[in-house]
Amino acid sequence: MLSSRKVLLLNATYEPLSLVTPPKAVTLIWRRVAESIEIDPGQILRSPRYVFEVPSVIRLTQYIDVRARQNRVTNRHRILARDHYRCQYCGRRGSAFDLTLDHIMPKSRGGRTVAENLVTSCRECNNRKSDRTPDEARMPLLTNPSALYYGLERGEFRRAAETRPEWRKYLFLEDWEEQQARDLQSNAG
Ligand SMILES: [Zn+2]
């Protein structure tokens, strides 16, 4: 039971970063890299010599730059999963075999290989767009930049938060949904 429970890891600024296992969380606290800010009631972790209270939420004692961190995790499958295996230009669904990753701002024009500049694209759309921006190619994205940036972790947070009400105030789910709605409106306007 304990093994499937996760601990919410926050940045020093209280920004949610990821989910970690209880042993990992306890190690971070032990090394003073993080501090416990919410305990998971009744959850205990034992080592041969010690008994640890398992945290529910921990916070890094030092700020880490999320953008720098996010840049390293541009794993192809995570991007495809974030975009639900759907071409973000035409909406067509595909498999890992027939979908490609497109640089929104083309690489040839300085676009970086980072999660928020990469979207799932079918081969046809990728060829058609070529080295143009979505605006130039008149191929508007089906999603918006904040979804690209936060989507990798958000899906996981959201599922986990369903059973962990004490996380909600850290995940700002409502705020984020509001922001999404605003973005959609301003994109449409
Ligand atoms: Zn397409």
Domain ranges in the chain are 2-64+150-188, 74-142
Res. 67 pLDDT band, cuts 50 70 90: low
88 CA to centre of ligand 1 in angstroms: 7
Q: What is the pLDDT of residues 112-160, one digit of tens each?
A: 888 889 999 999 999 999 999 999 999 999 987 666 665 666 667 777 7
What amino acid occupies position 7?
V
93 CA to centre of ligand 1 in angstroms: 8
45 CA to centre of ligand 1 in angstroms: 48
Helix, coil or strand: residue 109: helix
92 CA to centre of ligand 1 in angstroms: 6
Q: What CATH number should be reported for the domain whose range is 74-142?
A: 1.10.30.50
Summarize the confidence of residues 24-46 as an average pLDDT. Answer: 92
The answer to whether 38 and 15 are in contact (CB under 8 A) is no
Summarize the confidence of residues 33-51 as an average pLDDT. Answer: 91
Which positions ≥6 away from 155 have C-beta within 8 Å?
Answer: 81, 82
Please give the pLDDT value at position 2.
47
Pick the residue with more confidence: 75 or 118?
Answer: 118
136 CA to centre of ligand 1 in angstroms: 16
